Amino acid sequence: MSWISAALAFALSNFETPESVAVDPEDGSYYVSNVNGEPLAKDGNGYISKINAEGSVVIQKFIGGKDASLNAPKGILVSGKNIFVTDIHAVKGFDKATGKITALVDLSRFGVRFLNDIAAEPSGAMFVSDTMTNRIFRIDPSNHYEAKLFYGGKELGSPNGLAVNPKNRHLLVATWGSGEVLEIDRWKKIHVLKRGLQNLDGIDVDNRGNLYVSAFERGEVYRISNLGRGALVTALSGLVTPADISYDRKKDELLVPSFKGHTVSSVSQKTQAG
């Protein structure tokens, strides 16, 4: 399916290097992280936009400025009353109603260099990828946001996108460097689900057990059946730097931020086979 022929639910422009988009499962609204500058620049320019459930921008700069201290926000998720976002060396939490900061988890002591994506398991614990150092951390909000190394090693292939397998709660990883789709089980054993791809960014799962993975440089999104163990097809092509994609399971729509295209689009997947 080409980008032009895809069933667009909405397409919004005027974002500033949008990296990631997340859906609020409670009200169906969306939050977008805008790097708005260089990915490693501590310039205070980053911000989070809010989109309503109908696909209209509510507030372009919902969270940002000096009060929020956002530099280059990337991976984003909504968990309970909070929005969590990675920002170079830290994970920051904000009240989704007021935008006020609620948590600051500084991982500088671990020597992190490029915190990228973030994903949560049902317990609320969060996983965070550090792409440049081949590590994934686990943060426990129920224990004063305690952060620990979950996994580290070259076999992670510069981990980028993260998602949690809804069936077995294993961690799914899209790698930037090695172009692989990985699954890390509860015993921390790595299973290679797909290999031979390039510069993978975001990853998520739909209601039918399909895995979606974005290829940043190739401008494509792949759909892989059977939770990454089945056939791979190109779901979308002709995109401009699709970054950290997300899946709205209630609406059956794929959310695609275009990093260099400065857009966020939602594409219906209701007609796609399982």
Report the 3 state secondary structure along 191-206: EEEECCCCCEEEEEEC
Per-residue confidence (pLDDT) for residue 4, from 0 to 100: 46
- Looking at the domain assignment, is residue 274 inside a domain? no
Confidence of residue 7 (pLDDT cuts 50, 70, 90): confident
- The mean pLDDT of 161-181, rounded to a whole number, is 97
pLDDT above 70 coverage of the chain, percent: 95
Per-residue confidence (pLDDT) for residue 111, from 0 to 100: 98
To the nearest whole number, what is the mean pLDDT of the chain? 95
- The mean pLDDT of 138-166, rounded to a whole number, is 98
Q: Reply yes or no on whether the pLDDT at 5 is more than 80.
A: no
- The amino acid that residue 204 corresponds to is D
Per-residue confidence (pLDDT) for residue 182, from 0 to 100: 99
Neighbours of 87 (CB within 10 A): 21
pLDDT per residue as tens digits for the range 197-239:
999 999 999 999 999 999 999 999 999 999 999 999 999 999 9
Number of domains in the chain: 1
- Looking at the domain assignment, is residue 249 inside a domain? yes
Per-residue confidence (pLDDT) for residue 75, from 0 to 100: 99
Per-residue confidence (pLDDT) for residue 84, from 0 to 100: 99
- Looking at the domain assignment, is residue 3 inside a domain? no
- Looking at the domain assignment, is residue 87 inside a domain? yes
Confidence of residue 65 (pLDDT cuts 50, 70, 90): confident
Q: Reply yes or no on whether the pLDDT at 271 is more than 70.
A: no
| Domain extent for 112 | 8-268
Q: Reply yes or no on whether the pLDDT at 1 is more than 60.
A: no
- Looking at the domain assignment, is residue 96 inside a domain? yes
Per-residue confidence (pLDDT) for residue 153, from 0 to 100: 98
CATH code, domain carrying 82: 2.120.10.30
Per-residue confidence (pLDDT) for residue 270, from 0 to 100: 79
- Looking at the domain assignment, is residue 201 inside a domain? yes
CB of 246 closer than 8 Å to CB of 21: yes
